[in-house]
A and B are shown apart, each in its own frame.
Chain A
Amino acid sequence: MTTPLHIGFIPLVDAAALIVAVDRGFAAAEGLDVTLIREVSWSNVRDKLNIGLFDAAHLLAPVAIASSLGLGHVKVPIAAPFNLGINGNAITVSAALHAAIMGEADGDPFDPMVTARALAHVVAARRKSGAEPLTFAMTFPFSTHNYQLRFWMAAGGVDPDEDVRLVVLPPPYMVDSLAGGHVDAFCVGAPWNSIAVDRGVGHILHFVSDILVHAAEKVLAVRQAWSEKNREVLASLIRAAFRAAEFIEQPDNRAEVARLLAQPDRIGVDAEVIQRTLDGRLKISPDGAIRTSHRYLLVGREGAGRPDPVQAAWLYAQMARWGQTQVSPEALKTAMAVFRPDLFDAALGLAAAADRSGSRSIGAFAGPAFDPDDITGYLRSFDVIRRAP
């Protein structure tokens, strides 16, 4: 007896645990008959999950929170019992903007404070000369990409709403838009940064792990009501994703994983490009320069799979910082309750952690250490901030 499940995903490398769970048999071993449905927009994934066309989905962590709070859309409480990826995004800039930033950079170009201050100089010079503001693309209003770009540039004194144009662009359009000069930079997940570099139109300026050491990116999302009615099925799904993530993290399996992910009905790009991101060994410049980081994308290792409510609180704080909502203790509680380490622990037969000892520091390069119990105080420490209307 197998349980049929419909699960939506966006073709990105951080859907790996889900895709490998299905295509390498971990889901079947748990008695699940999963049909993966490739989607073209986060809006579609969210809506189809909300109305029950999908049982589960690969979802942007902030969308799961926004949906649970009813921000920007109809309110549907979501449960996120598994983290599909930690980090994994990068900021890619055009050759011209790269040259401009490097021309102003005073220090280590991999230090985001150095580049953010350099960006502030570039922005000021453009304004003085009457040039159009720079355009930065990201993937969704409620996205890690949006908050990571904002966090970075604001630390250098650039107001993301006043000093530049920050626009949403679907990931498959980003490389063409950069090549065509419609955008000057973007923040997106794998494989799109590498594709821009391979096409010779972009330089990877930062891995997001430069900005935040440990940042929840995509989650396995289900409707909270569904999670209550289908505890056993969900536990099976969590186990399948967990085993797949363990499989992916074995370096010997990477070539096979990359091949599975490269299939046309999955991510549909070259296996070699996918393997680069799994290995954290990326070509960052069209001249062939390679940068290696063991923090580029974490699928499963360092306990990446276990959802951490402190991460949800940090994302909620970003929504408040940028005027998408106002801070309220109830909403914060709701946001944190979206991330469900209890379901993760139960599925894997782990003893529940009594406190937040499992939390890893977010490790932001700027601002004070994040304290979920004092978001108002945390936000007060930033100069650039936007209030909800």
Chain B
Amino acid sequence: MSAEQSPKIVIVDESPIRAAILEEGLREAGFTGVHHISEMQSLLARIYALDPDIILIDLENPSRDVLEQMFQVSRAVRRPIAMFVDHSDAASIQASVDAGVSAYIVDGFKKERIKAILDLCVSRFNAFAKLQDELDRTKSALEERKVIDRAKGILMKLKGLTEEEAYVLMRSTAMREKKKIGEIAQSILTASELLK
């Protein structure tokens, strides 16, 4: 069976970035037959057209339930699939659910071979989550920076302080009140709005 050399893998994910990260990882690991589906309309028809050995789907995707239909014996289903869950492999299931990804294998594909693929998915999904997290933190740091700058401006104008003095005043207030400097800056902005 040719699938033993390079299985055909379909990634179902509405996030193009995460799908790209996963696809890249799979290619680096030597899996060349990787396809990405981002459009959920007629999902099963798209999957049948590709006829994959393995289907990977993120857990935020409501269409996971559509894949479960492939367990059902019906005219719509050609090759039955099974979810990669094994009584013996609770750790793998836990890791994949934690990472937010789920894998389905089509009948005829060797179960042992999917372990490596799933491990790769888990690490790539976790990498994506970390990236997202960093991006969010960078964004909020930028936001905070802006708030502090505006608060500094208000203090400089109202109290005739230099930029350095305004910053020191906010920092020492933050330390005294056990708050973040961003929170103090926000209070200054709110107060100045109210007193306008």
Q: What are the residues of chain B within 8 A of A44 when measuring CB–CB?
A: 59, 64
Q: Is B68 an interface residue (CB 8 A)?
A: yes
Q: What are the residues of chain B within 8 A of A316 when measuring CB–CB?
A: none
Known: A48-B97, A51-B93. A40 touches B76 (CB 8 A): no
Shortest beta-carbon distance from B80 to chain A in Å: 9
**Which range holds the interface residue count of chain B?**
20 to 34
Q: Is B162 an interface residue (CB 8 A)?
A: no
Chain A's closest residue to B87 (CB) is: A74
Tell which of A169-177, A224-232, A284-292, A293-301 binds the partner: A169-177
Identify A140's interface contact among B65, B83, B93, CB under 8 A. B65
Chain A's closest residue to B44 (CB) is: A167
Q: How far is the CA of A141 from the CA of B64 in the complex (A)?
A: 12
Shortest beta-carbon distance from B108 to chain A in Å: 16
Q: Is A346 an interface residue (CB 8 A)?
A: no
Known: A41-B61, A48-B97, A51-B93. A324 touches B73 (CB 8 A): yes
Q: How far is the CA of A37 from the CA of B40 in the complex (A)?
A: 24
Q: Is B66 an interface residue (CB 8 A)?
A: yes
Q: Is A264 an interface residue (CB 8 A)?
A: no
Kindly identify, within residues 81 to 131 of chain B, every residue whose CB is under 8 Å from any CB belonging to chain A. Answer: 83, 85-87, 90, 93-94, 97, 102
Identify A161's interface contact among B44, B61, B74, B93, CB under 8 A. B74
Q: How far is the CA of A48 from the CA of B85 in the complex (A)?
A: 13
Shortest beta-carbon distance from A81 to chain B in Å: 25
Contact A73 B73, beta carbon cutoff 8 Å = no
Q: Is A166 an interface residue (CB 8 A)?
A: yes
Known: A161-B75, A182-B42. A167 touches B69 (CB 8 A): yes
Chain B's closest residue to A160 (CB) is: B74
Kindly identify, within residues 52 to 76 of chain B, every residue whose CB is under 8 Å from any CB belonging to chain A. Answer: 59-69, 71-76
Known: A141-B69, A141-B72, A161-B75. A43 touches B97 (CB 8 A): no
Contact B74 A41, beta carbon cutoff 8 Å = no
Q: Is B5 an interface residue (CB 8 A)?
A: no
Chain A's closest residue to B75 (CB) is: A161
Q: Is A388 an interface residue (CB 8 A)?
A: yes
**Which range holds the interface residue count of chain A?**
20 to 34
Contact A324 B72, beta carbon cutoff 8 Å = yes
Q: Is B41 an interface residue (CB 8 A)?
A: yes
Q: What are the residues of chain B within 8 A of A48 when measuring CB–CB?
A: 97
Identify B85's interface contact among A73, A167, A323, A386, CB under 8 A. A73
Chain A's closest residue to B71 (CB) is: A72
Contact B73 A42, beta carbon cutoff 8 Å = no
Shortest beta-carbon distance from A255 to chain B in Å: 30
Q: How far is the CA of A73 from the CA of B72 in the complex (A)?
A: 11
Q: Is A53 an interface residue (CB 8 A)?
A: yes
Contact A168 B75, beta carbon cutoff 8 Å = no
Q: What are the residues of chain A within 8 A of B42 when measuring CB–CB?
A: 182
Q: What are the residues of chain A within 8 A of B87 when measuring CB–CB?
A: 74-75
Contact A386 B73, beta carbon cutoff 8 Å = yes
Contact B66 A170, beta carbon cutoff 8 Å = yes
Shortest beta-carbon distance from A365 to chain B in Å: 24
Contact B76 A165, beta carbon cutoff 8 Å = yes
Shortest beta-carbon distance from A135 to chain B in Å: 10
Identify B71's interface contact among A41, A141, A166, A388, CB under 8 A. A141
Contact A182 B41, beta carbon cutoff 8 Å = yes
Chain A's closest residue to B83 (CB) is: A73
Cβ-closest 10 pairs across A and B: A170-B62, A72-B71, A168-B69, A141-B72, A41-B64, A74-B85, A40-B62, A43-B64, A41-B65, A323-B73
14 pairs from A and B in contact (CB 8 Å cutoff):
A40-B61, A43-B64, A43-B65, A47-B97, A74-B83, A74-B85, A141-B69, A161-B74, A168-B66, A173-B40, A182-B42, A323-B73, A324-B73, A386-B73
13 additional contacts (CB under 8 A) given A72-B72, A161-B74, A168-B69: A41-B59, A41-B63, A43-B67, A43-B102, A73-B83, A139-B65, A140-B65, A141-B69, A161-B75, A167-B44, A170-B63, A172-B62, A182-B42
